[in-house]
């Protein structure tokens, strides 16, 4: 596989020189990086991150529209509105996948080539466009992946199943406190709003079913992940 010499991503791993890429039989890609003793899980490509950045901004604004306080009120009262919102989000992600086809090589859309944690998320989620976009963001934007893995490191699964809103509130607050700049702290406002969706019985049932199917050990960081996570500068992982 042809590899670029350099890779740079803002607010994450500053610079990579990829020497080799292995494809383990169990799945995923392992990139050998100059100066690192452990491989990087995945194949970092800046054009994918930039393309996904456009998609992330659109998703953010779409969610904000439906999760302002008026939108939440309508969400709770009207089942048809909720379904239309979910359908709209999936339709948007279908369009996003078409957009990503242009800058993204074939393998990034193949879940078997993703890292272990992204493969586990794909396994337990719904096989639709919306979930595929979420998993691709997890796979290719390590600023999100490393924060997500850290969240699964500190989460108490038993508490999450017993009192999901309370445990998510605790975890999101800890993540927010660990951010080192205010602009990142502000982004957690949307996550706190998402917690309110768990007051909807169907959403809560599906969320708990999702958690019960999950192998948390495959998503939380292992020793190799911890080496890469420790290089992050915009979040206190220690």
Structure tokens at 178: 């660990």
Place of tokens 């708990």: 208
The predicted pLDDT at position 9 comes to 45
Q: Does residue 170 fall inside a structural domain?
A: yes
HSE value, Cβ hemisphere, 13 Å, CA-based, for 125: 17
Q: Does residue 237 fall inside a structural domain?
A: no
* The 3-state secondary structure of 135-192, one letter per residue: HHHHHHCHHHHHHHHHHHHHCCHHHHHHCHHHHHHHHHHHHHHHECCHHHHHCHHHHH
The pLDDT-based confidence of 12 (bands split at 50, 70, 90) is very low
Q: Does residue 74 fall inside a structural domain?
A: yes
The sheet carrying 40-41 orders its strands as: 18-22, 30-33, 40-41
DSSP letters of 25-52?
TTS--EEEETT-SS-EES---HHHHHHH
The predicted pLDDT at position 193 comes to 82
Lowest mean pLDDT: which of 32-41, 67-76, 79-88, 203-212?
67-76
**pLDDT (tens digit, 9 = 90+) per residue, 39-71?**
999 887 777 777 777 777 777 766 666 556 555
The pLDDT-based confidence of 212 (bands split at 50, 70, 90) is very high
**pLDDT (tens digit, 9 = 90+) per residue, 114-130?**
999 999 999 998 788 78
The predicted pLDDT at position 24 comes to 93
Domain count within the chain? 1
Structure tokens at 35: 């100066």
Residues 9 and 20: their CA atoms lie apart, in Å, by: 19
The CA distances from residue 21 to 2, 8, 39, 176, 211, in Å, are 9, 18, 9, 34, 32
Read off the pTM. Answer: 0.80
Q: Does residue 10 fall inside a structural domain?
A: no
Residues 137 and 147: their CA atoms lie apart, in Å, by: 12
Q: Does residue 166 fall inside a structural domain?
A: yes
In terms of residue numbers, what domain contains 152?
Answer: 18-229
């Amino acid at each position: 596989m042809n590899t670029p010499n350099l890779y740079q991503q803002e607010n994450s791993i500053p610079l990579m020189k990829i020497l080799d890429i292995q494809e383990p039989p169990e799945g995923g890609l392992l990139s050998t990086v100059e100066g690192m003793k452990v491989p990087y899980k995945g194949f970092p490509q800046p054009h994918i991150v930039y393309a996904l950045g456009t998609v992330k901004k659109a998703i953010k604004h779409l969610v904000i529209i439906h999760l302002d306080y008026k939108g939440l009120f309508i969400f709770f009262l009207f089942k048809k509105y909720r379904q239309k919102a979910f359908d709209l989000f999936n339709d948007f992600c279908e369009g996003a996948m078409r957009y990503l086809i242009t800058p993204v090589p074939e393998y990034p859309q193949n879940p078997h080539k993703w890292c272990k944690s992204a493969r586990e998320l794909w396994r337990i989620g719904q096989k639709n466009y919306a979930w595929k976009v979420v998993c691709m963001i997890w796979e290719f934007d390590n600023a999100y992946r490393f924060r997500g893995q850290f969240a699964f490191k500190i989460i108490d699964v038993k508490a999450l199943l017993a009192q999901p809103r309370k445990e998510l509130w605790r975890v999101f607050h800890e993540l927010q406190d660990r951010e080192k700049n205010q602009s990142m702290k502000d982004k957690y406002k949307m996550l706190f709003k998402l917690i309110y969706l768990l007051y909807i019985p169907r959403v809560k049932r599906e969320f708990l079913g999702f958690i019960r199917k999950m192998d948390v050990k495959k998503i939380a960081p292992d020793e190799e992940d911890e080496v890469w996570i420790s290089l992050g500068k915009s979040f206190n992982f220690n």
